Structure 1
Amino acid sequence: MSTYLRQTPALRDVLCILLDAHEETWGLRVSAASGRPTGTVYPLLERLERAKFVASRWDIERDGPGPRRRLYALTEEGRAWAQSKGLSSTPTTSRGKS
């Protein structure tokens, strides 16, 4: 893995949300669930994707109004990595701080 992932509280929160998700989820939902701003969440999702810990795709089946959503999910490698770091589906208590 060539991407450096510093284990910050924000990264831990994002990983916990993704661990808890039972299906693909979009970045704004991760932001809302973690209490982190989108300016923190989207760069983390991008880094996780470059590290092959997260996979993403455009939601082309969406029929509702508004722009398409980018859907994110942990890969098997990402799930194993997050769990090896002792993470579960419970975000840290420092939510809302970047």
Structure 2
Amino acid sequence: MEPLGRIGRATVDVLAVLLDSDQPRWGLEIIKLTGRPSGSVYPLLDRLERAGWVTSSWDDDSERRGPRRRMYVLTPGGAQEATKVCAKAGGRAKAGTAPTTRPEVAR
């Protein structure tokens, strides 16, 4: 697993959404939950996948209408690293950084 290097607030937000779920999340769902634009989220997901923190696969729900969804889930090592990153970022938030609010996504 590769180190990520610079980890900004958007990365923390994406990692937090992935940590908060025991099920894979799709890209648009992550965008809605983080409140971040697609131009930030999709490159972050790609970077996380290349680093070995996340794996992705195409949704195979043939009964669902609409385009196929790309599903993302943390790897075991990625989950460990994400937990550390989010805990560290939580400490910074208490020190004065405003946390990002996450709107709910209808399923």
TM-score (norm 1): 0.83
Match of 1:93 among 92, 99, 102: 99
Q: 1:49 to 1:68 in 2, by over 3 A?
A: same
Superposition misfits of 4+ residues, deviation over 6 angstroms: none
Q: RMSD across aligned C-alpha pairs, in angstroms?
A: 2.3
Distance (whole Å) between structure 1 residues aligned to residue 12 and residue 86 of structure 2: 10
Question: 3-state DSSP class of the match of 1:72?
Answer: strand
* Paired amino acid for 2:21: A
Q: 1:65 to 1:20 in 2, by over 3 A?
A: same
Counterpart of 2:36?
Answer: 36
Query: Structure 2, unaligned stretches of length 5 or more?
Result: 91-97, 103-107
- Which 10-residue stretch deviates more, 62-71 or 41-50? 62-71
**Structure 2 residue 66 is matched with structure 1 residue 60:** no
Structure having the higher helix fraction is 2
* Paired amino acid for 2:27: G
Percent of pairs with identical residues? 43
Work out whether residues 49 and 56 of structure 1, in 8 Å CA contact, stay in contact via their aligned partners in 2.
yes
Counterpart of 1:72?
Answer: 72
Work out whether residues 59 and 71 of structure 2, in 8 Å CA contact, stay in contact via their aligned partners in 1.
yes
Q: Which has the larger radius of gyration?
A: 2
**Structure 2 residue 28 is matched with structure 1 residue 22:** no
TM-score (norm 2): 0.77
Work out whether residues 12 and 85 of structure 2, in 8 Å CA contact, stay in contact via their aligned partners in 1.
no
Work out whether residues 10 and 95 of structure 1, in 8 Å CA contact, stay in contact via their aligned partners in 2.
no
Query: Structure 1, unaligned stretches of length 5 or more?
Result: none
